[in-house]
Amino acid sequence: MRPARSVMKRIIVLVLLLLAAMPARAQDAFLTALPGLGGGFGAQVEAVERLGALGDPRALPALRALSEGRLLRLADGTLLIRDGATQVNAATGAPQQAAEADTQRININNRVRGALRGALGQLQIISPDPDERFAAAEAIFRSRNAANVPLLEAALARESVPRVRERIALALAASRLVASDPAAKLAGITALGATASPEARSILLEARAANADVLPQIEAAVADIDRRLAIRRVAETAFQGLSLGSVLLLAALGLAVTFGVMGVINMAHGEFVMLGAYTTVIVQDLARDIPWLQPWSLPLAVPMAFLVTAAIGAAMERGLIRHLYGRPLETLLLTFGVGMMIQQAVRLAFGAQNREVISPPWMQGTLMLPFDVPVTANRLWILCFSLVIFALILAAIRMTRFGLEMRAVTQRRAIAAAMGIRTGRVDALTFAFGSGIAGIAGVALSQIDNVSPNLGTGYIIDSFLVVVFGGVGSLAGTLIAAFGLGVINKMLEPWAGAVLAKVFVLVAVMVFIQRRPRGLFPQKGRAAEA
Partner 1 sequence: MDTAQPSRARLGLRAVMITAVAILAIFPLLNQLPADNVFHVSDFLVSVSGKWICYAILALSLDLAWGYAGILSLGHGAFFALGGYAMGMHLMRLIGPRGSYGHPVLPDFMVFLGYQELPWYWLGFNHFSFAMLMVVAIPGLLALVLGWLCFRSRITGVYLSIITQAMTYALMLAFFRNDMGLGGNNGFTDFKELLGMPLNTGAARISLFYASLIALVASYLFCLWITGTKYGRVLTAIRDAESRVRFLGYNTTSHKLFAFVASAMMAGIAGALYVPQVGIINPGEFSPGNSIEAVIWVAVGGRGTLVGAVIGAFSVNGLKTWLTSAAPDLWLFVLGGLFVAVTLFLPKGLVGLLQGRAK
Partner 2 sequence: MRGRRLYLDGVSVVFDGFRALNNLALVVEPGEMRAVIGPNGAGKTTMMDVITGKTRPTAGIVTFGDLDLTRMDEAAIANLGIGRKFQKPTVFDALTVFENLELALKAPRGPIACLRWVLAGGGRTRIEEVTTEIGLTDRAHDRAGILSHGQKQWLEIGMMLMQDPDLMLVDEPVAGMTDAETEHTAKLLARIAGKHSVVVVEHDLDFVRALGCKVTVLHEGTLLSEGSIDHVQNDPRVVEVYLGR
Closest contact distance (angstroms) between CB of 529 and partner 2 is 7
Check binding of 351 to partner 1 (CB under 8 A). no
Q: Applying CB under 8 A, which residues contact partner 2?
A: 524-526, 529
Q: For the chain, first and last CA: distance in Å?
A: 73
Amino acid at 409: V
CA dist., res. 221 & res. 334, Å (int): 64
Closest contact distance (angstroms) between CB of 485 and partner 1 is 13
Residue number, 100 or 529, with CB nearest to partner 2: 529
CA dist., res. 91 & res. 199, Å (int): 38
Interface of this chain with partner 1, residues 489 to 508, rule: CB under 8 A: 497, 499-500, 502-503, 506-507
Closest contact distance (angstroms) between CB of 314 and partner 1 is 17
Closest contact distance (angstroms) between CB of 530 and partner 2 is 10
Residue number, 326 or 525, with CB nearest to partner 2: 525
Residue number, 23 or 517, with CB nearest to partner 1: 517
Give start and end residues of each alpha helix (H) in 400-456: 401-411, 413-418, 423-445
β-strand pairing of 86-89 with 366-369: unpaired
Residue number, 290 or 528, with CB nearest to partner 2: 528
Q: Which of 64, 220, 235, 336 binds partner 1 (CB under 8 A)?
A: 336
Q: How many residues does the chain have?
A: 530
Site for partner 1 (CB under 8 A): how many residues?
39
Closest contact distance (angstroms) between CB of 486 and partner 2 is 30
Which sign, positive or negative, has the C-alpha torsion 198, 200, 202, 205?
A: negative
Closest contact distance (angstroms) between CB of 406 and partner 2 is 21
* Residue 525 binding: pick among partner 2, partner 1, none (C-beta 5-8 Å cut-off by kind): partner 2
Check binding of 353 to partner 1 (CB under 8 A). no
Please tell me whether residue 374 adopts helix, strand or coil conformation. strand
β-strand pairing of 373-376 with 366-369: antiparallel
Q: Listing from the earlier edge strand, what are the strands of the sheet with 79-83? A: 86-89, 79-83, 71-73, 104-105
β-strand pairing of 71-73 with 79-83: antiparallel
Which residues, 6+ apart, have CB-to-CB distance to 384 below 8 Å?
none
Give start and end residues of each alpha helix (H) in 208-361: 215-255, 269-287, 297-319, 328-350
Interface of this chain with partner 1, residues 378 to 437, rule: CB under 8 A: none
Residue number, 157 or 418, with CB nearest to partner 2: 418
CA dist., res. 155 & res. 437, Å (int): 54
Check binding of 468 to partner 1 (CB under 8 A). yes
Residue 491 contacts residue 233 (beta carbons within 8 Å): no
DSSP 525: S
Interface of this chain with partner 1, residues 264 to 293, rule: CB under 8 A: 265
Q: Which of 7, 17, 341, 392 binds partner 1 (CB under 8 A)?
A: 341
Closest contact distance (angstroms) between CB of 349 and partner 1 is 11
Which residues, 6+ apart, have CB-to-CB distance to 189 below 8 Å?
173, 177, 204, 214, 217, 218, 221
Run of H or E including 208: none
Closest contact distance (angstroms) between CB of 405 and partner 1 is 25
Closest contact distance (angstroms) between CB of 471 and partner 2 is 14
CA dist., res. 236 & res. 239, Å (int): 5
Residue number, 28 or 529, with CB nearest to partner 2: 529
Closest contact distance (angstroms) between CB of 514 and partner 1 is 4
* Residue 468 binding: pick among partner 1, partner 2, none (C-beta 5-8 Å cut-off by kind): partner 1
Among the listed residues 366, 124, 55, 148, the one whose alpha carbon sits nearest the alpha carbon of residue 170 = 148
Q: Which of 150, 328, 374, 494 binds partner 1 (CB under 8 A)?
A: 328
* Residue 509 binding: pick among partner 1, partner 2, none (C-beta 5-8 Å cut-off by kind): partner 1
CA dist., res. 166 & res. 134, Å (int): 9
Which sign, positive or negative, has the C-alpha torsion 76, 81, 86, 89?
A: negative
R_g over Cα of the chain: 33
* Residue 320 binding: pick among partner 2, partner 1, none (C-beta 5-8 Å cut-off by kind): partner 1
Closest contact distance (angstroms) between CB of 523 and partner 2 is 9
* Residue 5 binding: pick among partner 1, partner 2, none (C-beta 5-8 Å cut-off by kind): none
Residue number, 265 or 429, with CB nearest to partner 1: 265
Q: Which of 137, 173, 338, 451 binds partner 1 (CB under 8 A)?
A: 338
Closest contact distance (angstroms) between CB of 526 and partner 2 is 5
* Residue 119 binding: pick among partner 2, partner 1, none (C-beta 5-8 Å cut-off by kind): none
Residue number, 94 or 418, with CB nearest to partner 2: 418
Please tell me whether residue 451 adopts helix, strand or coil conformation. strand
DSSP secondary structure string, 11-69? HHHHHHHHHHHHHHHHHHHHHHHGGGGGS-HHHHHHHHHHHHHHT-TTHHHHHHHHHTT
Amino acid at 275: L
Q: Which of 345, 395, 415, 419 binds partner 1 (CB under 8 A)?
A: 345
Q: Which of 337, 351, 424, 494 binds partner 1 (CB under 8 A)?
A: 337
Q: Which of 130, 295, 365, 517 binds partner 1 (CB under 8 A)?
A: 517
Residues within the interface to partner 1 (CB under 8 A): 265, 320, 323-324, 328-334, 336-341, 343-345, 348, 461, 464-465, 468, 497, 499-500, 502-503, 506-507, 509-511, 513-515, 517
